[in-house]
Structure 1
Amino acid sequence: MNYYAAFLPMKDEEKSKTYRPDHLTYLEDMEKQEKIFAKGRFTDGAGGLVIYQAESLEEAEELVKADPYVAKGARDYKLHEWTMVLAESAARPE
């Protein structure tokens, strides 16, 4: 399984507000299917980030395009394969 970081920059703030419940439901469904590693919004309102788990870039792109934010034109996306490297301090037990 590979990781793919999907940057979801704001395209249309009104559409983003309208489709937020659908977007959150979609992310919950993807979490249940173990297709999401992490997710969150940027605090400056610029958009958000979702890290998907998928077998290929094509599969990850299908997941991103199915997100209501992207499908309805509220957000754009940029997708990159991502390799996770934990900082040594994060990996050390307390």
Structure 2
Amino acid sequence: MKYFAALAPMKDAQKSKEYRQQHLDFLKEQREAGHVFMYGRFADGAGGLVIYRGESLEAVEALVRQDPYVTSGARHYEVHEWDMQTDYTIQA
């Protein structure tokens, strides 16, 4: 299983407020299904970050496109495969 970082920069603050609970419910469902590793908002209000687990970039993007924040137009999204390091050493 691979990890993917999904950046969700703010597009429409009002829609983000309106769809927040639906977004959080979606993330809870995805976490329970094993697709979400962790998530959180940026403290400066610029958006948020979700770390997904998946087999491929395409599979994860398909999930991200279902997020109410994305379907409502509240947030943009950008997904990158993430090479998570667990030993806390920096690799060049």
Unpaired segments ≥5 residues, structure 1: 89-94
Matches within 5 A, 1:43-58: 43-58=43-58
Matches within 5 A, 1:61-72: 61-72=61-72
Matches within 5 A, 1:34-45: 34-45=34-45
Greater helix proportion: 1
Aligned match of 1:19: 19
1:8 maps to a residue whose letter is A
User: Following the alignment from structure 1 to structure 2, what is the Cα–Cα distance between the partners of residues 56 and 33?
Assistant: 16
Structure 1 length-normalised TM: 0.91
1:49 Cα offset (Å)? 0.1
SS of structure 1 residue aligned to 2:65: helix
Aligned residue-pair number: 88
1:83 Cα offset (Å)? 0.8
1:31 maps to a residue whose letter is R
1:48 Cα offset (Å)? 0.2
Aligned match of 1:31: 31
User: Following the alignment from structure 1 to structure 2, what is the Cα–Cα distance between the partners of residues 79 and 24?
Assistant: 19
Moved over 2 A (4+): none
Unpaired segments ≥5 residues, structure 2: none
Larger radius of gyration: 1
1:75 maps to a residue whose letter is R
User: Following the alignment from structure 2 to structure 1, what is the Cα–Cα distance between the partners of residues 3 and 71?
Assistant: 21
Structure 2 length-normalised TM: 0.93
Aligned match of 1:92: none
User: Following the alignment from structure 1 to structure 2, what is the Cα–Cα distance between the partners of residues 31 and 41?
Assistant: 16
2:19 maps to a residue whose letter is Y
